[in-house]
């Protein structure tokens, strides 16, 4: 896979999310093409990528919740 460029801006910027999409688009396309070349259908690959992204977002949210609960427990002395 090719190099993925880093952010164009530091901190919050209204285009940061779009810039991230642009930065990873080629690697994403290459991954999808490799999966199709391995014999998976385009619809299977697209669905799998969506599910993987969804699971990743759920894991990130769960980790944030866990960190919040640990911080609250630490503050309250539990």
pLDDT of residue 45: 98
Give which of 32, 34, 33, 24 is closest to 3, Cα–Cα.
24
**Cβ neighbours for 52, distance < 8 A, ≥ 6 positions apart:** none
Could you tell me the residue ranges of all domains in the chain?
Answer: 16-76
Q: What's the CA gap between 58 and 56, in Å, rounded?
A: 5
The list of the chain residues with pLDDT below 70 reads 1, 78
pLDDT of residue 78: 65
pTM for the model stands at 0.78
pLDDT of residue 1: 62
- Let me know: does 14 contact 1? Beta carbons within 8 Å: no
Q: What's the CA gap between 27 and 22, in Å, rounded?
A: 10
């Amino acid at each position: 896979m090719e190099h993925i460029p880093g952010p164009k801006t530091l901190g919050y910027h209204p285009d940061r999310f779009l810039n991230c999409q642009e930065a990873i688009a080629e690697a994403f396309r290459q991954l999808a093409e490799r999966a199709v070349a391995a014999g998976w259908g385009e619809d299977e690959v697209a669905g799998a990528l969506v599910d993987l992204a969804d699971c990743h977002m759920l894991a990130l949210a769960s980790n944030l919740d866990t960190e919040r609960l640990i911080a609250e427990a630490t503050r309250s002395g539990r």
